[in-house]
Chain A
């Protein structure tokens, strides 16, 4: 099993450009999450999904959109990138059930100039 994978690993954008980050998991997990990690601030939840076709806002959703058309994939979109969106983005997934932890992907390092 590959676990949780993210594409791309690195990306540099100019202000106003758009892009999509792809997260894929092969563990048949129901729940998927997108976080951003900034120095001194820890991981913050952007959006999440509790199943195929459903999404919900997290703590910092502004400027981002998501889609979960297939159970194994969770896409994070930036329609018009801003320098404040420079960050490391992590995707995570977990199986339904109280005693299950979240598994994290390797991260995408995004720089917006």
Chain B
């Protein structure tokens, strides 16, 4: 089976930086995804890593180490609208199935 672990909750101040860690154990791994989900809404795509290293997209960056089974999502210059759940998902197999972690709820305080 698949095992995806991430912290349950994190709190940070507006303007600060927060790093959400994710570890995974997935057979047939072929990509790591991060999604953002606001309460009562659908998950929306944030980032994707398939090779080791850092991918930067504006205020959001994501890092992957395949040998360590580890990824992180870095949120910079936090805004109140960034308060949401962040889902780590490991993709495997030719069917492109995603295995999700339980999500990390980030609360941004003024």
Contact = CB atoms under 8 A, between A and B. Distances in A.
Interface of A: 31, 33, 35, 40-45, 48, 50, 56, 58-59, 90, 94, 98-107
A14 to B, nearest CB: 25
Contacts of A58: 97
Interface residues of B, number: 24
The 3 closest A-B pairs by CB, nearest first: A104-B42, A42-B102, A101-B45
Contacts of A99: 48, 50
Interface string B2-36: 00100000000000000000000000001101010
A35 to B, nearest CB: 8
17 contacts: A31-B95, A35-B100, A41-B102, A43-B87, A45-B97, A45-B99, A48-B95, A58-B97, A59-B1, A98-B31, A100-B96, A101-B33, A101-B45, A103-B45, A104-B43, A107-B41, A107-B42
Interface of B: 1, 4, 30-31, 33, 35, 41-45, 48, 50, 87, 89, 95-103
A98 to B, nearest CB: 7
Contact of B43 (A43, A56, A98): A43
Given A48-B95, A99-B50, A105 B42 contact: yes
